[in-house]
Structure 1
Amino acid sequence: MENTPNQPIEVALSSSCIFPPNLEDTFATAVDLGYDSVEVMITGSAISQEPYDLLKLVDKYQMPISAIHAPTLLLTQQVWGRAWNKMQMAAKLTKSVGASVIVAHPPFRWQRQYAKNFVEGVREISQAEGVKIAVENMYPWEALGKSVEMYLPHWDPTRFDYDWMTWDFSHAAAARVDSLEYVKKIGDRLGHVHLTDGKGDKVMDEHLMPGYGKQPVAETLEYLADISWYGVVCAEIDTKGKKTGERDEMLVETLQFAHRHLRR
């Protein structure tokens, strides 16, 4: 799902914002709080992997799925087997539920065979299935005070000829790069945005609420509104340990931030 000319940029709710993971709760929360759509992160949960179950939730809540997050995280390495199988199944699922974008992480450094033809392989599956595979920006890890490259061909997708990219503000903070500068560099290849933030002073990403870190999140959203960007901005903030009421307050504030700076 994408906005069309003269329509506002949509704001989605990622299922990763609901903890413990619960897809029904994700759809219900998205409706209650006024989000436009849902991004489903594929996990070990059978519901997240089955088009029939996902479409039942779409119909029940009248809430579309705009993006699928492929199981390419460290914690989902056992889902759907081999790396390329994950991508192919994610593409078929994306098409089946009416979404248009797959969010995918680059390979880990130990996945050398997978990484070898990653750029070309992603393009082939994307074209064959008719969906966007938007490779997400990541960040270098740190060990004993030293930067460690954990992703191949690199954590920075702008170095390669990907057709589409996902931009994540929290990952940008961890990598200590300027999101507005990079989003302008990506240009027409920007396929999806993860709305979050980070201070950049920790080893890993933080997924703070937008405006609570050091990234130019407001300025970047305003830029996207100015250029009439086609795509979806998806809230992906960390709400672990929060009670339902506090979590929903965070998600409402995140949505309001998005609406304000996307000029909705």
Structure 2
Amino acid sequence: MTVTVGLSTASVYPESTAHAFGYAASLGYDAVEVMVGIDALSQQKSAVAQLAEHHGMPVRAVHAPCLLFTQRVWGTEPWGKLERSAEMAAELGAPTVVVHPPFRWQRDYAAGFVDGIAALEESTGIVFAVENMYPWRASSRRRVSKGMEMYVPGWDPSEESYAHTTLDLSHASIARSDVIAMADRMGRRLHHVHLTDGTDSAKDEHLVPGRGTTGAADLLAHLAAGGFGGDIVVEINTRRCTTRAERETDLRESLEFARAHFVVPAR
């Protein structure tokens, strides 16, 4: 069994979506996940399609604009954003839309979210893989707190009835979640993995996998042994890289980590 290792366009920020496709192609990634964000190019289906064709790099997922800083991308109506994400995915041939659970202040959206996601999957034929988030907690390590619940119906999609889910290791680190236990709770519903890392910080670190403490290598081995057939997407933070060579090194190391540790055991 082989698994597709993709690159999230968020991994090259502050460089652009176009740069992400270039990195993915030159480093040997299998695919790209497009984070629809403040980069205007990421919002344009035709421009992304041209990039995919130019680099020979398929798009395997579209990440809906549901982060705090993308609240006004594609308007402010959350269901409309998901519909547009599905339209982009369909046009690009991507089977998956990644979506976060609603913020607690999005009351109407949150009230019908679980059923609404199921209805969107039925009507569009696109997988909506709901991503694990985390309680918001203080950054000081000296404070012991479970954090504030900011997502409804909750930050842990393994506890809901979603047909498809995404497991993000950096988010799991903030939540102090055991990633293997969470993957097991998700079971066959686990469709998508954001491969990254964290160190129990209250910050969403998105480290190169292997540089944190979430057990990224063990998770990949566990998934490989269990027959995981979804997508693994590298989603790291390279904003501190001061040169293209540094960013390229982090992206290459992440790809090599994925391929080294997702190894299907011989039968």
In which range does the TM-score fall when normalised by the shorter chain?
Answer: over 0.9
Asked if 1:58 is matched to 2:56, the reply is no
Q: Any conservation in 1 of the 2:197–2:206 contact (CA below 8 Å)?
A: yes
Partner residue of 1:105?
100
Asked if 1:140 is matched to 2:135, the reply is yes
Q: Quick one: distance in 2 between partners of 1:133 and 1:94?
A: 11
Partner residue of 1:215?
214
Give unpaired runs (5+ residues) of structure 1: 1-5
Q: Quick one: distance in 2 between partners of 1:97 and 1:49?
A: 12
Aligned length: 257
Among candidates 28, 43, 46, match of residue 40 of structure 2? 46
Cα RMSD after superposing both structures: 1.3
List structure 1 runs of 4+ shifted beyond 6 angstroms: none
Q: Any conservation in 1 of the 2:130–2:162 contact (CA below 8 Å)?
A: yes
Map Cα deviations across residues 196-247 of structure 1 (whole Å, 9 max, x no partner).
01111x2222111111111121111112212221111000111002121011
SS at match of 1:142: coil
Partner residue of 1:249?
249
SS at match of 1:141: coil
Q: Quick one: distance in 2 between partners of 1:217 and 1:184?
A: 15
Give unpaired runs (5+ residues) of structure 2: none
Q: Any conservation in 2 of the 1:141–1:204 contact (CA below 8 Å)?
A: no
Q: Any conservation in 1 of the 2:6–2:31 contact (CA below 8 Å)?
A: yes
TM-score by length of 1: 0.94
Map Cα deviations across residues 151-174 of structure 1 (whole Å, 9 max, x no partner).
111111111100110000010010
Map Cα deviations across residues 25-61 of structure 1 (whole Å, 9 max, x no partner).
1111001111000000001333212221111111110
- Equivalent position amino acid for 1:253 in 2: E
- Equivalent position amino acid for 2:109 in 1: Y
Q: Any conservation in 2 of the 1:178–1:215 contact (CA below 8 Å)?
A: yes
Q: Percent identity?
A: 42
Partner residue of 1:156?
156
Partner residue of 2:232?
233
Q: Any conservation in 1 of the 2:17–2:39 contact (CA below 8 Å)?
A: no
Among candidates 86, 90, 101, match of residue 91 of structure 1? 86
